[in-house]
Amino acid sequence: MKRSISMLFCFFVFVFFCLILNTYAASKYVILMDAVNIRKGAGTSYGVYTTAKLGSKYYLKSDQLISDTSGGCSGGWYEINYNGSSGYVCSEYVKVYDEENMAADNQEPTTACQIALHEKGFPSSYFIPLCELQEKYPNWNFEPIMTGLDFNVVVTQESKCGKSYIETNDPNYMDSTCKSDYASTSIWKPASYGAVRYYIDPRNFFTERYIFMFETLSYVDSLSNVYASAVTSVIKGASFYKYHLGIGNDLGQVINTAGKNIGVSPTFIGSRILQEIGSSDSLYNLYSGVYPGYVGYYNFYNYGVSDSCANSYGTTKCGLDYAKSKGWYGLEAAIQGGVESINKNYIQVGQNTRYLQKFNVAPTNSNSLYTHQYMTNIRAPYGEASTAYTSYSNAGALNSNFTFSIPVYENMPAYTMLPTSPDDNIDNGATGGNSSSSVPSDLAPSSIIVSAGYQYEGSYLKGIDADTSVSDLKGRLESIGGNGTVTITNASGQSVDSNDTVGTGYKITINGTTKSTYTVLIYGDISGDGKIGSLDLLKLQRHILKAATLSGIYLESCDANQDGKITPLDLLVIQKDVLGVEKINQ
């Protein structure tokens, strides 16, 4: 008998550690930062399963990078789970996420790097990715821009019709309600709320390639030796560069000189010209200087080419009329004139990064908040950042003394992702919701909770079983309070689907004789996904071992035996639940 018990105990221990290991491997995933080929091996010489779209999510089979042998991805390859098989994606075009670390901004710093970021004012959700970059590039400097703005308010403002556009055919990325700005024949569509939300969140771009959207755009003396080659690297494939090189003009040198004279990064100037003129010859009339009536005039920045003007008079006339009015006669005058304009009108008024020139959230003049933005394309900072990174990489300058100025918002969610359904595009303000109406009940919220069979303790709502769906909880409460009296959001205040599972940290707002909001507490659901599993065991184990620190509602949920203490006994209680031996009493 003793032998059987011993064997059973060993089996439980074995299963426990297997669950821990499998959870660790499965908790990390990648989000594609562009349309990316998923290959059958770690190299561009291997075949392609598919070209996955921007924003696609795949779990990692391993978080160890595989060295590239074909020269197509110098950063290495990640092995992902692609339809049950191994697929491979280039690390330079993905961002790695770890579900274990997706928590609200209430974590204490534990390393020297994290403490330094914390002292500057960065929230804890910025720590891990920025410290990974700091370890690889010790000369990089990260500075917060404390905007004082509510994240949800910023997204709502930037989602207004005519404010932000995206080049897409994905209906989840476009806002079809912007009727006056919506042309079905155009590749440019008003960006949806969910798409704007993703591109505004700075944390989605903390990779060595895309961090350059936060690069300060002033001229850096320590980079003077690499600017010329970096600029040429940016524009050498473009038709406008080849055209001028063919007639004896070195645009790279002209741009470098203009940037140095005015104090603006030449690499930024090159990437901005490429962004505005493009690599093709479609805007030949703006960069060639030979158009009849405007010979010798150039416009490399698309200044003056507004939608209304272009629709009425055409791109050429609008752009060259503007150049002529500014006296941009001659190549050097045109390049320098555009730089002077950007410097005066944008960089010198606080819009000193690519990000801020799209999302004006830290202006020196508060009256221009959310206005005076250089572009409407929400992907422009992202595209220009990639161009800048490539140019610095080609010049061997990545470990130079770059400074990155990064916005910080109030009430930021744990994370954001590109929308995958229409529900992801609901503008719910700061609190969100999943009910189209809210009809007050004649009962007090506390009475509704108790009558529905749940308990409340202060602001906590308890007694909810794991694996309870949003619709079940809402239905049970509204069977007492009445239809439309209950709104449920996740821990970040986002709207949730009726089929989602209610988890620790979810917010339940009940509109009764008073309107009260409660936070869901499910003992054992430490991860907040509404389920009790191996991830919860891992989180509690790491907390007990002081490898990670839990706090707030997530710390409360660790007390699985509800004795008021967090000890290894709670691990045993959760383990029994996971193995189906004994359910936790909620």
pLDDT at 181: 59
Q: CA distances (Å), 204 to each of 45, 138, 176, 363, in order?
A: 29, 21, 25, 22
Contacts of range 176-179, beta carbons closer than 8 Å, 24 or more positions apart:
none
514-546 in b/e burial notation, b at 16+ Cβ within 10 A? Answer: eebebbbbbbbbbbbbbbbbbbbbbbbbbbbee
pLDDT at 435: 34
Contact 569, 543 (CB under 8 A): no
pLDDT at 440: 73
Joined together, the tokens standing for residue 124 give 């804890």
Say whether pTM exceeds 0.75. no
249-264: pLDDT as tens digits: 999 999 999 999 999 9
- Where helices occur in 402-548 by DSSP H, the ranges are 445-451, 470-481, 534-544
Query: What does the alpha-carbon distance between residue 172 and residue 371 come to, in Å, rounded to a whole number?
Result: 25
Q: CA distances (Å), 487 to each of 90, 435, 441, 495, 517, in order?
A: 42, 6, 13, 9, 9
Distance of CA 478 to the CA centre of its chain: 36
Q: Which domains does the chain have, with CATH numbers?
A: 2-100 (2.30.30.40), 222-344 (no CATH), 431-520 (no CATH), 534-578 (no CATH)
pLDDT at 453: 83
Longest CA span, the chain: 101
Residues of the chain with pLDDT under 70: 1-27, 55, 99-106, 179-185, 365-367, 423, 426-439
pLDDT at 427: 58
pLDDT at 24: 42
pLDDT at 354: 93
pLDDT at 430: 33
Query: What does the alpha-carbon distance between residue 513 and residue 446 come to, in Å, rounded to a whole number?
Result: 10
pLDDT at 518: 93
Question: Comparing C-alpha atoms, which of 102, 80, 99 is closest to residue 36?
Answer: 80
Distance of CA 41 to the CA centre of its chain: 28
pLDDT at 260: 93
